[in-house]
Structure 1
Amino acid sequence: MTNNRQSIKKATISDVAKLAKTGKTSVSRYLNGEFGILSATLKERIEQAIKELNYRPNQMARSLKKGQTKLIALILADITNPYSVEVMKGLEAACQDNGYTLLVCNINKEKAKEKYFLQLLMDYNVDGVIIHALRTQDSILRDLPFPVVLVDRRMSDLGYDIVGLDNIQATTLASNYLIDSGFEAIIFITESLTGVGTRQERVNTFKKIVKQQKGIVGEVVEIEDMNQQTELLDQHIVSFCQKCRGMRKAIVTVNGSVTLHVSLALKRLNIIWGKDIGLLSFDDPVWASVAGVGITTLRQPTYKIGYSSFEMLHRRMQGDHSEAKEYLYPGELIIRDSTN
């Protein structure tokens, strides 16, 4: 038996022209809104033919003819990261407001996927790309045929605009708050620093501030894979607590994803944040206000960052060839009982 869906032939512009008793050029003018050179009778016939045939123009073909596809791509390192999701919301809203469609490519922290998606997007002829991913494909990034904006990733040597958090301001705000609150020992826990300039900025700023303070113990722990190295994370936390016994201690996490892993580690170790140890997180996941006694966070204007990334990209797509710029937004400290 023939599938009914497969047996239904999709109407073409030639079918519309034939039913409306006119040429394809007139139908094309109608579809492009060039009504001034069409008679009222002809417009009515074309409109009726489109309705009868349920004709839908090939938007991709029309866009390519105009030299643009109205497609924007977002490449993410990890779509499960709450920060990435919030940035994506702002970007998607900007695309909708400006008549663009957003394609989302999740590389899931796999280097091969990053290369694959970059090559695929060139084949799709997208109008521009926003990248919030790993820095593993510089050779390809240098030769992309479309504008690029980087979110929360510093690759200034590639000549692309950057939008994200002012990491120096944010880390200074968070570190000074903990020190002023009487914490004497602070451990900064981060994922891999390799190729991620924003994490390096946070860590370096933290080290600099701690070094300037007498009597403050500061430690940085870098763990490559939080999912696979839970035992190592536990060991670092236990070691820190033992070395700093008797001191007021706090943990700073580099992002929301690490915050979740640290929260689970503290539960495994029966350490209560807000009582046994302080906890401060970069990013402000929705659960931070309800987990335990709440978690103090450094909130980033993620929606605004996402929306602004499109605006920056759109200017480039419109022909702005000025020097690359950095748009950095300040963070906001949200104080909860984890640091009281």
Structure 2
Amino acid sequence: MSTTPPAAARRATITDVAREAGTGKTSISRYLNGEMSVLSPELRARIEAAIERLDYQPNQMARGLKRGRNRLIGMLLADLTNPYSVEVLQGVEAACHALGLMPLICHAANEVEMERRYLQLLTTYRVEGVIVNALGVREETLRPVGGGGIPAVLVDRSVEGLVADMVGLDNRAAAELGTRHLLDNGFDDIWFVVQPFEQISSRQLREAAFREVMSGEGGKGREGGPGGKGEGSRTGGKGNGDKGGARGHTLVLNLAEPAAVERALAELDRAIDAVGGSGGAVSSAADNAARSATDNATDNATDNATDNATVTAAVRAIGKPSRIALFAANAPVALCLALHLKARYGVDWQARVALLSIDDPEWAELTGVTTIRQPTYEIGYRAVEFLHERIEGVQTTARDCLLPGELIIRASTSR
């Protein structure tokens, strides 16, 4: 009994299709390239029937190399597990379908070396353009794309020295929107919690906008502790503005290092416990102290203006402890904070501390967390449109397309 496997069926070629349809290879090529106007209806029908009978599958890579066009674009993503990336990708795929492009998706899993390798690989595939939403790409890494190389569009971050279009959220406006919402709702101890932002332009813009708003509300302020590269907090000064001298802090939360996360969350716990939340023991003690001051001042006050001022200040303090709020720079940070707060303070943790997040993941609605929703689908769609214009030579100068976020107010900041 023979053990030789049967020979694989030979794939049909364009010559086979031409012979089956009774025409030349030129007509078949015109049909495959969509040049239907030069073919008669009868010939088009014969070619279509021949392709179906032979199950002909054209080699798109070979055809693309021959024409100098293959309609392939690369999409480099830092983190495909992030809902933001998934939603942007939906817009990318829809635009590719509409414009006749085929995306090659590369997931770098937040590894800078993987991002570099994927960019090199995409150039070997001769993609016509690249959309980049990556973590640590720098100008030297992106040198093969943009600036005269392969056309490139950056999503939600810019790279110094690289001439390329950028599409993303208006990060400054979004951070200002969230910060002012918290201030307007009476929160006067606000922590902006962000992943390391030394090399990520979108995080830098959000953190800077937060500090600028808080400095305007609470005086010039001061900075101390580690910066955006590592971990720790930076604190803004307390002033005498209309908002009662709100304090702003930046806390760096490095989600890639569990030990660093533990240290940062411990610092946050100390701050929350010191404030006491809306019903904590510290707040009760503050209320009791204020009431005692009021009673003492009232007993001793006659027409003494100083004592009257003491009474007024004490009365204002009663029942008005500091209100603490956390402003998460993105959904992964918000999820880390929410899980930690629930584990530490129980299901009613939002009675103790407010949470607001840039990004609007599905779980935020379930837990009543206020968010700033990004136009993720539109970001992805616009990125492909920009790239297509560059591929076709329509656009030459670099552009920034900044789209507004939408504030979704929920219970977490309404208590």
Whether TM-score is above 0.5 comes out as yes
CA contact (8 A) 2:139 2:161 kept: no
Q: Which has the larger radius of gyration?
A: 2
Find 1:318's aligned residue among 392, 395, 405.
392
CA distance in 2, matches of 1:45, 1:164: 48
CA distance in 2, matches of 1:61, 1:39: 27
Q: Does 1:187 align with 2:191?
A: yes
Deviation at 1:289, TM superposition (A): 0.7
SS at match of 2:161: helix
What is residue 413 of structure 2 aligned with on the other side? 339
Task: Flag the 1:337–1:42 CA change in 2: closer, same or farther, 3 A.
Answer: closer
CA distance in 1, matches of 2:153, 2:216: 35
Find 1:234's aligned residue among 265, 284, 289.
265
Deviates more, 1:258-267 or 1:226-235: 226-235
Alignment of 1:8-87 (within 5 A): 8-34=9-35, 45-87=46-88
Alignment of 1:93-104 (within 5 A): 93-104=94-105
Deviation at 1:220, TM superposition (A): 0.8
The TM-score normalised by the length of structure 1 is: 0.92
CA contact (8 A) 1:282 1:299 kept: yes
SS at match of 1:11: coil
Alignment of 1:184-223 (within 5 A): 184-213=188-217, 214=239, 215-223=245-253
What is residue 172 of structure 1 aligned with on the other side? 176
CA contact (8 A) 1:114 1:137 kept: no
Deviation at 1:103, TM superposition (A): 1.6
CA contact (8 A) 1:172 1:209 kept: yes
Number of equivalenced pairs:
337
Unaligned 5+ runs, structure 2: 218-238, 240-244, 277-282, 284-321
Deviations 1:186-242 (A, max 9, x none): 111111102101101111111111122222121111122256244224312212213
Structure 1 consecutive aligned stretches of length 4 or more whose deviation exceeds 6 Å:
none
SS at match of 1:92: helix
Task: Flag the 1:267–1:64 CA change in 2: closer, same or farther, 3 A.
Answer: same
Deviations 1:223-267 (A, max 9, x none): 222562442243122122134344210001010111111111111
Q: CA RMSD in A?
A: 2.2
Deviations 1:146-173 (A, max 9, x none): 1101111122531111111111111111
What is residue 370 of structure 2 aligned with on the other side? 296
Deviations 1:263-296 (A, max 9, x none): 11111212534311010000001111112xx000
Q: Does 1:280 align with 2:280?
A: no
Task: Flag the 1:20–1:322 CA change in 2: closer, same or farther, 3 A.
Answer: closer
CA contact (8 A) 1:187 1:240 kept: no
Find 2:331's aligned residue among 256, 263, 267.
256
* One-letter code aligned to 1:274: Q
CA contact (8 A) 1:273 1:279 kept: no
CA contact (8 A) 1:234 1:269 kept: no
SS at match of 1:143: coil
What is residue 114 of structure 1 aligned with on the other side? 115
SS at match of 1:141: coil
CA distance in 1, matches of 2:380, 2:38: 42
Unaligned 5+ runs, structure 1: none
SS at match of 1:195: coil
